[in-house]
C-alpha cells in the first residue's frame, strides 16, 4: 500500500483492503475495493467499504461500475475522507481509477495524473481499461 495524496488517498492490493490494522494505522476511513476475483473484505463497522468489482479489459457491461468507482473516489476526495483504492494486485485498476478520480477532482489531464501517481512505483495499467476510462463522460 502506498500513499498517493498524503493522509487522503492510497493505492493498494486485496491484502491491504482486508487488514483492519493496516487501514486503521494509516488513518484510512474508506475502502473502494475493485477486485473482481477476491473475497469480500470483512472490516469493522466504522470503516466504509464499497465493493465495485471490475475487470481490466474493455467490458461493455462494466462502464457503469467503472464510472461509479471513479465518482465514488472523487467524491471521497472532495469530502476529505481518507480512502484506499484497492484491486487484486494494486497495479492496474487501482492506479487507473485513482488517477481519473484525482484528475476530475483537481481539473487536470488524466494521463498527467496517472504518470505522477505511477512514477517510481510498480504498475501495469491495462491499455483497454485506460482507454475505457478516458472515453467515459463524467458529470460535475
> Tens digits of per-residue pLDDT, 104-129?
999 999 999 999 999 999 999 999 99
Q: How far apart are CA 36 and CA 117, in angstroms?
A: 23
What is the C-alpha to C-alpha distance for residues 90 and 56, in angstroms, rounded to an integer?
Answer: 12
Asked if the structure places residue 96 within a domain, the reply is yes
Residue 140 lies inside a defined structural domain of this protein: no
Cα distance between residue 90 and residue 126, in whole Å: 12
Taking only the tens place, the pLDDT of each residue in 23-46 is 999 999 999 999 999 989 999 999
Interval 1-20: pLDDT, tens: 999 999 999 999 999 999 99
Confidence of residue 138 (pLDDT cuts 50, 70, 90): confident
pLDDT digits (tens, 9 = 90+) for 43-75: 999 999 999 999 876 665 678 899 999 999 999
> What CATH number did the domain enclosing 23 receive?
3.90.190.10
Residue 69 counted as domain residue: yes
Q: What is the pLDDT at residue 5? A: 97
Residue 122, domain extent:
2-135
Cα–chain-centroid distance for residue 104? 13
Banded pLDDT at 140 (limits 50, 70, 90): low
pTM of the predicted structure, to 2 decimals? 0.94
pLDDT of residue 137: 87
Contacts within 8 Å (CB) and 24+ apart, 102-108: 102/4, 102/5, 102/9, 102/74, 102/77, 104/70, 104/71, 104/74, 104/138, 105/74, 105/77, 105/78
* 57 belongs to a structural domain: yes
Provide the domain count of the chain.
Answer: 1
The H or E element that residue 35 is part of is strand 30-35
pLDDT of residue 106: 97
Amino acid at each position: 500500500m502506498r500513499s498517493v495524496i498524503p493522509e487522503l488517498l492510497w493505492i493498494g492490493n486485496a491484502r491491504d483492503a482486508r487488514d483492519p490494522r493496516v487501514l486503521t494505522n494509516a488513518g484510512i476511513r474508506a475502502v473502494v475495493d475493485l477486485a473482481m476475483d477476491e473475497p469480500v473484505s470483512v472490516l469493522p463497522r466504522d470503516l466504509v467499504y464499497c465493493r465495485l468489482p471490475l475487470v481490466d479489459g474493455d467490458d461493455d457491461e462494466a462502464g457503469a461500475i467503472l464510472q461509479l468507482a471513479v465518482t465514488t473516489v472523487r467524491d471521497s476526495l472532495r469530502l476529505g475522507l481518507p480512502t484506499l483504492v484497492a484491486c487484486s494486485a494494486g497495479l492496474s485498476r487501482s492506479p487507473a481509477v485513482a488517477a481519473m478520480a484525482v484528475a476530475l477532482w483537481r481539473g487536470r489531464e488524466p494521463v498527467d495524473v496517472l504518470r505522477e501517481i505511477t512514477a517510481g512505483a510498480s504498475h501495469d495499467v491495462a491499455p483497454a481499461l485506460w482507454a475505457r476510462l478516458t472515453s467515459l463522460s463524467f458529470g460535475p
